[in-house]
A and B are shown apart, each in its own frame.
Chain A
């Protein structure tokens, strides 16, 4: 199948990049540093896995770094090939432009997930063999959420990449997306909600519901919500069930809509 051929090619190309090895090393290093910080002290041999994840790995690595890495992995997916000329080679073969864009999402998404797993697993292996009680299940499960967040941002960045003609513009768009979702979301949505407080009051929803929706609409906070529910054994259960479901829906949306929008533009362009 054409899309899979593109995805397979792109995956192989991406995992061979020096950046990928660097990424795995960076993840490993950070997880190791955090693990050292929360290591069992004195008589205790209970390793605070959940603390490690929710207080250190979560805020720094997952919500801060993983989206940025996703943007970096995805931004030159299409624009880079367009700029270098390898897109001519790619499109001389029987691939539609849709196959190219979604093949890239799949290929780079898989590479991103692989890098996340590899980066988290290397320190985990060390923790598993050391004589401390380490909750491997929580740790590995958490890695899945981290990888999923990376894939979402890869998809958004590939969408940007398909929509613009140059690598540079794709990078600017990608960094804009990162800034919006990771750094400025609260500020931005707060302003918007503030500006439309009049019309919103007329709606049959409360301000809290709006804020809850906006929170779930951001892939970063969506993943955070799901991951924390998972760590608290409340995944798809408990009080936040509805919120979790909307978070999942929004993650799917962010994985599909940006590449689709990018494709609409890419499909019309002269290359």
Chain B
């Protein structure tokens, strides 16, 4: 049985198509990362899975049941960490978890769940006084109540500090080991890479890629980007480098050359630049990172180009792109 199945799902809001003819399958027991930039339609898709929003066209099946007709039955077996939620300001953290336990008719002590997410010490405080990260932990605790078969986490690490992100990752892994299906959305790649069996990338309401992380990396190829800093990046230097066998692309960025090339031709690239009269100050290579991959798919550029990915992604919440290596001479 599949945990989540969307067939030909379209959702139109007045004036905008949020999701367009989407087919998506999440198998039982897998950890599925649902990626895409903000506004790609991730939350709308999750809202349809949870019956907060009804599809304009197509069918949504969750745990083998119709998402709209059997929504309550589905939610009895599902734990949800929603995006953009707010807590009941006047109720304590413990009361929130008790409410989830009553609602799911689960047989569990609130303390054990609160301890698991690291909120036990603050359990009797009013949730209105919680930080963003604590609210996120609280909603996760509510989602974990009753050992759900399916966990749906919408941007789970938003507002969490690095320790919180690590805790979240460990909980996701533990739930997956228990046998739960985990479906989570994110616009931050590093988290997805660490825990997901499979990822789907959504762009403007359409699934543009769906594969394992390895598969996606293979699709991008072994291409590397070589960044060569020279004293003066003249046209002659660029042309000379571009003429080297195995170089697919050269971009100029000030005094630096961004060279997409086969792994074996690095030294020839350096030599060509020097032969053309440039003095090479520095160079380093970068393996095509997930960031590049992500941007390639979500911004419609050719996969494998590194370009200015790192500067375009300076939001601060991303660790260094996975797999980058630096070689200095």
Q: Which A positions have Cβ atoms within 8 angstroms of B?
A: 2, 5-6, 8-9, 12-13, 16-17, 84-86, 88-89, 91-96, 270-271
- Can you list 23 contacts pairing A with B, beta carbon distance less than 8 Å? A2-B103, A5-B102, A6-B103, A8-B99, A13-B91, A16-B91, A84-B86, A85-B84, A86-B87, A88-B52, A88-B84, A89-B86, A89-B142, A91-B75, A92-B82, A92-B143, A93-B100, A93-B104, A93-B142, A94-B103, A95-B72, A96-B71, A271-B52
A88 and B82 contacting across the interface, CB-CB below 8 Å: yes
Name the CB-closest residue of B to A4.
B102
Interface size on B, residues (CB 8 A): 32
B27-56 interface bits toward A, Cβ cutoff 8 Å, 1 = contact, 0 = none? 000000000000000000001001011100
The 5 closest A-B pairs by CB, nearest first: A92-B80, A93-B103, A88-B82, A94-B75, A16-B90
Residues of chain B in range 46-99 having any CB-CB distance to chain A below 8 Å: 47, 50, 52-54, 71-73, 75-76, 79-88, 90-91, 95, 99
A169, B50: Cα distance in complex, Å: 26
CB distance from B309 to the nearest CB of A (A): 33
B90 and A94 contacting across the interface, CB-CB below 8 Å: no
Please give, as numbers and ranges, the residues of chain A lying within 8 Å of B139 by CB-CB distance.
89, 92
CB distance from A95 to the nearest CB of B (A): 6
Residue of A86, A94, A96 near B88 (CB, 8 A) is: A86
A94, B47: Cα distance in complex, Å: 14
B99 and A5 contacting across the interface, CB-CB below 8 Å: yes
Please give, as numbers and ranges, the residues of chain B lying within 8 Å of A85 by CB-CB distance.
82, 84-86
Name the CB-closest residue of A to B82.
A88
A219, B91: Cα distance in complex, Å: 33
CB distance from A238 to the nearest CB of B (A): 46
B180-195 interface bits toward A, Cβ cutoff 8 Å, 1 = contact, 0 = none? 0000000000000000
CB distance from A166 to the nearest CB of B (A): 15
A131, B99: Cα distance in complex, Å: 47
A92 and B91 contacting across the interface, CB-CB below 8 Å: no
A239, B47: Cα distance in complex, Å: 57
A2, B103: Cα distance in complex, Å: 6
CB distance from A212 to the nearest CB of B (A): 44
Name the CB-closest residue of A to B143.
A92
A270 and B52 contacting across the interface, CB-CB below 8 Å: yes
B50 and A91 contacting across the interface, CB-CB below 8 Å: yes
Q: Which B positions have Cβ atoms within 8 angstroms of A?
A: 13, 47, 50, 52-54, 71-73, 75-76, 79-88, 90-91, 95, 99-100, 102-104, 139, 142-143
A89, B87: Cα distance in complex, Å: 7
A258, B142: Cα distance in complex, Å: 32
Please give, as numbers and ranges, the residues of chain A lying within 8 Å of B52 by CB-CB distance.
88, 91, 270-271
Name the CB-closest residue of A to B100.
A93
CB distance from A2 to the nearest CB of B (A): 7
A88, B46: Cα distance in complex, Å: 12
A94, B103: Cα distance in complex, Å: 6
Please give, as numbers and ranges, the residues of chain A lying within 8 Å of B81 by CB-CB distance.
92
Please give, as numbers and ranges, the residues of chain A lying within 8 Å of B47 by CB-CB distance.
270-271
B103 and A5 contacting across the interface, CB-CB below 8 Å: yes
B86 and A92 contacting across the interface, CB-CB below 8 Å: no
B99 and A9 contacting across the interface, CB-CB below 8 Å: yes
A84, B88: Cα distance in complex, Å: 10
B85 and A88 contacting across the interface, CB-CB below 8 Å: yes
A270-B72 contact given A12-B91, A13-B88, A93-B103, CB 8 Å threshold: no
A96 and B72 contacting across the interface, CB-CB below 8 Å: yes
Most chain B CB neighbours (cut-off 10 Å) among A12, A93, A94, A96: A93
A93, B77: Cα distance in complex, Å: 9
A55, B75: Cα distance in complex, Å: 53
A8 and B102 contacting across the interface, CB-CB below 8 Å: yes
Name the CB-closest residue of B to A17.
B90
Name the CB-closest residue of B to A15.
B90
CB distance from B190 to the nearest CB of A (A): 26
Name the CB-closest residue of B to A2.
B103
CB distance from B164 to the nearest CB of A (A): 18
CB distance from A78 to the nearest CB of B (A): 14
A9 and B72 contacting across the interface, CB-CB below 8 Å: no
CB distance from A114 to the nearest CB of B (A): 15
CB distance from A111 to the nearest CB of B (A): 12
A9, B72: Cα distance in complex, Å: 18
Please give, as numbers and ranges, the residues of chain A lying within 8 Å of B85 by CB-CB distance.
85-86, 88-89, 92
Please give, as numbers and ranges, the residues of chain B lying within 8 Å of A86 by CB-CB distance.
85-88
A84, B103: Cα distance in complex, Å: 21
Please give, as numbers and ranges, the residues of chain A lying within 8 Å of B83 by CB-CB distance.
88
A95, B75: Cα distance in complex, Å: 8
Please give, as numbers and ranges, the residues of chain A lying within 8 Å of B86 by CB-CB distance.
84-86, 89
A13, B50: Cα distance in complex, Å: 25
Name the CB-closest residue of A to B102.
A5
CB distance from B283 to the nearest CB of A (A): 49
Please give, as numbers and ranges, the residues of chain B lying within 8 Å of A270 by CB-CB distance.
13, 47, 52-54
CB distance from B144 to the nearest CB of A (A): 12
B90 and A89 contacting across the interface, CB-CB below 8 Å: no
Given contacts A93-B99, A94-B73, list 15 more A-B pairs with CB under 8 A.
A5-B99, A8-B102, A9-B88, A9-B95, A17-B90, A86-B85, A86-B86, A88-B83, A91-B52, A92-B79, A94-B72, A94-B76, A96-B71, A270-B52, A270-B53
A12, B143: Cα distance in complex, Å: 21
Name the CB-closest residue of A to B99.
A9
